[in-house]
Structure 1
């Protein structure tokens, strides 16, 4: 009987110790889970895959400046140009996934693989947040003599007009292709290797007849009256220029827009991605950013990490189809 009681006591003691040990482990786990990640604790590099002055560069610099003020940590914008933006994004994809190298993610990422530019899609990154968009637009000089798209169309039917646009194979370039496809017009297209801003320089100098880029990349000339927008490639008119029609209104089903966001290398921990999301969401709500969007003729928007990732997946499908339709697909060739 004593032996049985002794054995029972040992078993109870062991069970008690086991329970105490389990509770201790659970407590440690809970403590670790409740431990909030600290980011940023050192300077952050923000890669822009296009040259200075373009839409992506402008968005990066204004948001980085606000984030820097709010966190007290340096956010350094670095332009890495080349290959329709893929040079900079390749560098971003290979960066240490610790949150200290992030970058601007353009919609062009949806075209790289199908165009044979680079083996990259949004799936090679962690998309933190979408912050703005720009719709492609047909823009001409004030002294062109064209006040409507119909005026422009009549001129384009009599001679081949010279049209400058963004990077070869980029979204603004696709805008020109789509304009040709839907209207039956044919242009002498001049893509700019470093983005849309240089196209505006070409138009201002009278070297081309028109440009097809985002209005934000020629904001100063549009606001000064040197340039005028004939139509935009979006489902609805922009709040920035309510008197400018969409191509859909004119009878042409053309929708080419560039959505930009903040991304980190694949493998970046989710808790750090959330920190990136939260800081840039706060930055995008700052009045300075809102004023900048209005003054630059761009459009503020917001998509969460989940929403942005889903949107990018759909965009990959739609822009890949557009590339194939335009005859620019090189994937698998």
Structure 2
């Protein structure tokens, strides 16, 4: 929870909406004092049991107590969460449909016009960020590659020969490989596993790829069991859970790529409702006991409120937007 926020000021609401009735852009009316008055649906664009699902269900349980509400979790795993985002952005903006939003999926399904998304950035009302999970790079325990510099030198010695996992074209890992090539000249061959990190990890452990790229939270248990050696983390600072693993940046390669997980309502949801949910999430995440639950599950708590998350979303969209032409050329 040590990310430096950069706050944005949301557009003010009319004086008439400062009464108990909170008005949305679509004319939807919600009694702010009575919220929530019915069950809230939380849509997740991934299968049950993955990191996004685990973190969301963990938070949903606490929110039920905090808001005295019923929260129904609905998994809609398809098309890199595009199905879930479509359901969210087409829902009534009354505070009773919220979705887990992950980067880069929430960004790339918009930037990649070939996906034909029915929504855009402004279709979302960001609520809060829960997790920032840096990308990390691992090799087999008996590999000669031990540091980020070793990896770069090995890749430059045999351009395009080292096979590295990704979870699909324009995935987080694909962006990481392209970014590393840009700053170091190291060319690794991406092997795309559109079924996700489990398939990529299985292929790597089976010897079908040379390098495994995935989130720190996914790599940590593999390292602890001796199945992989973590070479480096693609973040500005070392991961708290991996204090002995260097970052690529400290090794001279300015690469920072992370996946992140937060929450959003449909655009037009009343500001009072967004603020109430954002504040509730923030209070839960400030609780040391909840932070421990997250870290024990391999999740890195990184709370940002609605304004801060909106700014982070825009900054991240610019980063991926700048790299996207290189990713397309690499596909």
Q: What's the TM-score once normalised by structure 2's chain length?
A: 0.81
Over 3 Å counting, the alpha-carbon distance change for 1:90 and 1:31 in structure 2 is closer
- CA positional deviation for 1:248: 1.2
Deviates more, 1:258-267 or 1:194-203: 194-203
Q: Tell me, yes or no, if the aligned pair for 1:53 and 1:197 is still in contact at 8 Å.
A: no
CA displacement, residues 16-73 of structure 1 (integer Å, 9 cap, x when unaligned): xxxxxxxxxxxx9986469743233332221122233433222212111222343453
- What SS does structure 2 have at the residue aligned with 1:146? coil
Contact (CA 8 Å) 1:95, 1:101: kept in 2 or not? Answer: yes
| Residues 1:130 and 2:126 aligned together | no
SS across alignment from 1:200: helix
Residue 112 (structure 1) aligns with: 109
Query: How many Å separate the matches in 1 of 2:275 and 2:284?
Result: 14
Residue of structure 1 in register with 2:75 after alignment: 79
Contact 2:101–2:263 under 8 Å retained in 1: yes
Distance in 1 (alpha carbons) for counterparts of 2:200 and 2:133: 16
| CA gap 1:295/1:29 in 2 versus in 1, 3 angstroms | closer
Q: What is the alpha-carbon distance in structure 1 between the residues aligned to residue 292 and residue 20 of structure 2?
A: 41
- Asked whether the 8 Å contact 2:170–2:327 carries over to 1, the reply is no
Alignment of 1:154-165 (within 5 A): 154-156=153-155, 157-158=157-158, 160-165=161-166
Count of matched residue positions in the alignment of Structure 1 and Structure 2: 303
Secondary structure of the 2:250 match is coil
SS of 1:313 mapped into structure 2: helix
Matched, 1:327 2:324: no
Q: Does 1:39 align with 2:38?
A: no
For normalisation by structure 1, the TM-score amounts to: 0.81
1:68: which partner in 2? 64
Which residue number corresponds to residue 230 of structure 2? 229
Name the structure 2 match of 1:97. 93
1:57 aligns to what SS in structure 2? helix
Cα displacement (A) at 1:212: 1.3
1:173-207 deviation per Cα after TM superposition (whole angstroms, max 9, x unaligned):
21122223323233331222243343222222332
* 1:184-199 correspondence to structure 2 within 5 Å: 184-199=185-200
In structure 2, do the counterparts of structure 1 residues 31 and 94 end up closer, same or farther at CA, with 3 Å as the change threshold?
closer
Instruction: Check conservation: 2:43, 2:99, Cα contact below 8 A.
Output: yes
Closer/same/farther in 2, CA of residues 144 and 292 from structure 1, 3 Å limit: farther
Q: Deviations over 1:104-145 (max 9, x none)?
A: 111222223322233544321111111220111112232334
Q: What is the distance in 1 between the residues matched to 2:183 and 2:225? A: 31
Work out whether residues 122 and 312 of structure 1, in 8 Å CA contact, stay in contact via their aligned partners in 2. no
Unaligned runs of 5+ in 2: 1-15, 23-30
Question: Compared with structure 1, are the counterparts of its residues 216 and 175 closer, same or farther at alpha carbon in structure 2 (3 Å cutoff)?
Answer: same
Task: String of CA shifts for 1:131-166, please: whole Å, max 9, x gaps.
Answer: 220111112232334322333344433371221122
Contact 1:54 1:217 (C-alpha < 8 Å) held by counterparts: no
C-alpha separation in 2, matches of 1:163 and 1:29:
53
Could you tell me how far apart the structure 1 residues matched to 2:238 and 2:309 are? Answer: 23
Query: How does 1:138-149 map onto structure 2 within 5 Å?
Result: 138-149=137-148
Q: Are 1:290 and 2:294 matched, yes or no?
A: no
RMSD: 2.7
Q: Distance in 1 between matches of 2:222 and 2:130?
A: 24
